[in-house]
């Protein structure tokens, strides 16, 4: 039983880790060895990275991705926190309706919205603008972020806002001075969530952005992949350089994020 447990554990770790290892190690192999199945490169090279950085629009894509992800993150927090505060801590007519309306967004496949969103964006002149991506990423991140906040709000005793209200504090003061510091882990969680949603979004980014100037990383990467199917050096190096920023971000915020995801989803 114990041995079986060990073997199973090792298999699970391998399942998660091996793809990361294999692509990373491949990206350092010299071109004529990259197709060889060696678990350790015979010779190391940074050639693919150098070419990727200087011969492809990688850096431009990275810049765009960072703008979109941080933009989405800020907007999501700014609109989700007040909304979830109202929904989870206040009584008002239509509360349930708003709650259901926000959750109903899960039901409709994003695919259905692709065409009309494109039309809408072109009407308001936002096609081929990073704003269009920020706007849509907020739409797709916000409902789950709102739901995640419920756990954090429920963890704060209701008597707290009541006594503050009796003491004469206005709603805004209660939110900013009393509640906000208490839900800080929740803010971190939805911020990371919004960042990740944005960093990984592909479909809308591929339709709403037409010029190379505004392409984000996933799109840039898929073009490198499609145009140069033989260039596995670029593809693997590109994959590494696309996941690296999220890994760095996650190294700082990951602990809070997983903890927040855990706490937000059960309570």
Partner 1 sequence: MEKEATQNATITQRPIERKKAKKVEVKHFVPYLLVSPLVLWIVITIFIPLSTVIKESFYSTGFVGTQGEFVGLQNYINVFTSSAYWGSWKNSLLWVVGNGLTQTVLAFSVALYLNNKFKLSKFARTWMIIPWIIPTIVVAIFWQWIFNGSYGIFNHVLMGIGLIDQPLNLLGDPTWALPTIIFINSWHWFPFLAVIILAGLAGIPEELYEASAVDGANKWQQFWGITFPSLQHITFALGLVGTLWMFNIFDVIYTLTEGGPAGSTTTVPVQIYQQAFDNYELGSASAMSVVTAIMMVVFAVVFIKFAAPKDE
Applying the rule CB under 8 A, the residues between 63 and 92 that interact with partner 1 are 78-80, 82-83, 85-87, 89-92
C-alpha dihedral over 156, 162, 167, 171, to 10 degrees?
80
181 binding partner 1? (CB under 8 A): no
Q: Residues 21 to 40: which contact partner 1 by CB under 8 A?
A: 22-23, 26, 35, 37
Q: Name the nearest CA neighbour of 147 among 111, 108, 101, 181.
A: 101
177 binding partner 1? (CB under 8 A): no
Number of C-alpha atoms within 13 angstroms, CB side, residue 99? Answer: 17
Angle, vertex CA 214, rays to CA 75 and CA 27, nearest 5: 100
Figure out which of the listed residues 8, 44, 176, 252 binds partner 1, where binding follows CB under 8 A: 8
Residue nearer to partner 1 on the CB measure, 45 or 256: 256
Q: Residues 136 to 175: which contact partner 1 by CB under 8 A?
A: 136, 138-139, 142-144, 146, 158, 161-162, 165-166, 168, 170-172
DSSP 130-166: HHHHHHHHHHHHHHHHHHHHHHHHHTS-HHHHHHHHH
**Residues of 231-267 as b/e, b for ≥16 C-beta within 10 angstroms?**
bbbbbbbbbbbbbebbeebbeebeebbeebbebbeee
We find the least distance from the C-beta atom of residue 50 to partner 1, in angstroms, to be 19
Residue nearer to partner 1 on the CB measure, 142 or 183: 142
Contact window for partner 1 (CB under 8 A) among 45-53, 56-64, 183-191, 220-228: 220-228
Q: Residues 43 to 62: which contact partner 1 by CB under 8 A?
A: none
221 binding partner 1? (CB under 8 A): yes
Q: Residues 199 to 218: which contact partner 1 by CB under 8 A?
A: 199-200, 202-203, 207, 217-218
We find the least distance from the C-beta atom of residue 184 to partner 1, in angstroms, to be 18
Would you tell me how many other CB atoms lie within 10 Å of the CB of residue 127?
18
Figure out which of the listed residues 110, 155, 164, 182 binds partner 1, where binding follows CB under 8 A: 110
Element spanning 253, H or E: helix 232-266
Figure out which of the listed residues 9, 31, 125, 157 binds partner 1, where binding follows CB under 8 A: 9
**CA distances (Å), origin 130, targets 73, 199, 210, 246:** 14, 13, 11, 19
């Amino acid at each position: 039983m114990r041995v079986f447990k060990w073997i199973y554990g090792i298999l699970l770790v391998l399942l998660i880790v091996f793809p990361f290892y294999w692509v990373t190690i491949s990206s350092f192999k010299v071109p004529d060895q990259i197709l060889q199945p060696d678990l350790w490169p015979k010779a190391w090279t940074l050639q693919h990275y150098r070419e990727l950085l200087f011969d492809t629009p990688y850096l431009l894509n990275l810049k765009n991705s960072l703008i979109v992800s941080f933009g989405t993150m800020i907007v999501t927090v700014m609109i989700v926190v007040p909304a979830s505060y109202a929904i989870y801590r206040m009584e008002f007519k239509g509360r349930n309706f708003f709650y259901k309306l926000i959750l109903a967004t899960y039901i409709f496949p994003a695919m259905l919205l692709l065409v009309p969103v494109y039309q809408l964006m072109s009407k308001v002149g936002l096609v081929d603008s990073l704003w269009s991506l920020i706007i849509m990423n907020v739409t797709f991140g916000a409902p789950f972020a709102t739901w995640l906040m419920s756990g954090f709000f429920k963890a704060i005793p209701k008597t707290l806002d009541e006594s503050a209200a009796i003491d004469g504090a206005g709603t805004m003061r209660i939110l900013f001075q009393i509640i906000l510091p208490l839900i800080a882990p929740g803010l971190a969680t939805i911020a990371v969530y919004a960042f990740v949603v944005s960093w990984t979004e592909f479909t809308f980014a591929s339709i709403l952005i037409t010029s190379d100037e505004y392409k984000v990383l996933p799109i840039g990467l898929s073009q490198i992949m499609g145009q140069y199917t033989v260039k596995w050096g670029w593809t693997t190096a590109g994959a590494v350089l696309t996941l690296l920023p999220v890994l760095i971000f996650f190294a700082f915020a990951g602990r809070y994020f997983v903890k927040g995801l855990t706490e937000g989803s059960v309570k």
